[in-house]
């Protein structure tokens, strides 16, 4: 077996066990390294020099909530993004619109109907998103869209009407 870096290891793990939760444990603290781990399917990221108690918290959080990023990694990424030190892939308006419908759970056909375009066009935009972002799973596209502000979850649902899906 060929030696693999962390990125390739995550891709192989996710290919064989797509539901496996992966916590990246790395000495690298650069924002691009963290983002690349996320794009390759890591569910969490923690620095090797972290306190052992934080590792336990990370594992428990990952188990319960599916994602974990320590405060240092989160602060660093937010700082870098806010100060435009990280260059995210440039998405077209059409790609963003298709991404938002995808996050809402619409099929490609339903998305095409909603935005008044062809099924082939929607498929092309999705292929472009997969290639630009190097994200090939819906859950990771959804995570990307939320993390970078392309999609917001509507939590304005009346709890008494939860099962009926009625909005306030």
Q: What integer pLDDT is reported at residue 128 of this predicted model?
A: 94
118 or 28: which leads in pLDDT: 118
pTM over 0.75: no
d(CA 105, CA 113): 14
- Confidence bin at 118 (pLDDT 50/70/90): very high
- Decide if pLDDT at 145 tops 70: yes
pLDDT of residue 39: 72
Q: How far apart are CA 141 and CA 128, in angstroms?
A: 12
Q: pLDDT tier at 84 (50, 70, 90 boundaries)?
A: low
Which has more pLDDT, 149 or 121?
A: 121
Q: Does domain 6-82 have CATH number 3.40.50.2300?
A: yes
Count of beta carbons in the 10 Å neighbourhood of residue 45: 26
Of 1, 38, 39, nearest to 23 (Cα)? 38
DSSP letter (8 states) at residue 161: G
Give the tens place of pLDDT for each residue, 56-81.
988 888 888 777 876 666 666 666 66
Of the options 3.40.50.720, 1.10.10.10, 2.60.40.1180, 3.40.1350.10, the CATH number for the domain spanning 93-147: 1.10.10.10
Q: Name the average pLDDT for the chain.
A: 79
Backbone angles phi, psi at 26, to 5 degrees: -135, 155
| pLDDT tens track for 2-52 | 677 888 888 888 888 888 888 888 887 766 677 777 777 888 888 888 889
Start-end ranges of CATH 1.10.10.10 in the chain?
93-147
In this predicted structure, the answer to whether residue 137 has a pLDDT above a threshold of 70 is yes
Q: Scan for tokens 């390294």, then name that residue.
A: 33
Phi, psi of 23 (to 5 degrees): -105, 115
- The most distant pair of C-alpha atoms in the chain lies apart, rounded to whole Å, by 56
Whole-angstrom Cα distance, residue 154 to residue 161?
Answer: 15
Phi/psi for 68 (5° steps) reads -150, 130
Distances (CA, A) of 142 to 83, 108, 152: 24, 15, 10
Which residue spans of the chain are classified as CATH 3.40.50.2300?
6-82
Mean pLDDT of 148-166: 55
């Amino acid at each position: 077996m060929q030696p693999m870096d962390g990125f390739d290891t995550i891709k192989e793990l996710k290919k064989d066990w797509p539901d496996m939760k992966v916590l990246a444990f790395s000495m690298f603290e650069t924002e691009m390294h963290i983002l690349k781990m996320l794009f390759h399917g890591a569910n969490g990221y923690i620095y090797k020099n972290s306190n052992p108690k934080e590792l336990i918290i990370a594992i428990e959080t990952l188990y319960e909530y599916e994602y974990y990023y320590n405060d240092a990694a989160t602060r660093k990424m937010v700082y870098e993004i806010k100060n435009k030190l990280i260059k995210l892939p440039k998405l077209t308006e059409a790609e963003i619109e298709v991404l938002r419908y995808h996050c809402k759970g619409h099929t490609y056909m339903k998305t095409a109907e909603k935005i008044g375009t062809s099924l082939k066009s929607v498929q092309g935009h999705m292929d472009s998103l997969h290639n630009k972002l190097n994200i090939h799973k819906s859950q990771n596209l959804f995570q990307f869209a939320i993390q970078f502000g392309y999609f917001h979850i509507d939590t304005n649902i009346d709890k008494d009407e939860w099962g009926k899906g009625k909005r306030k």
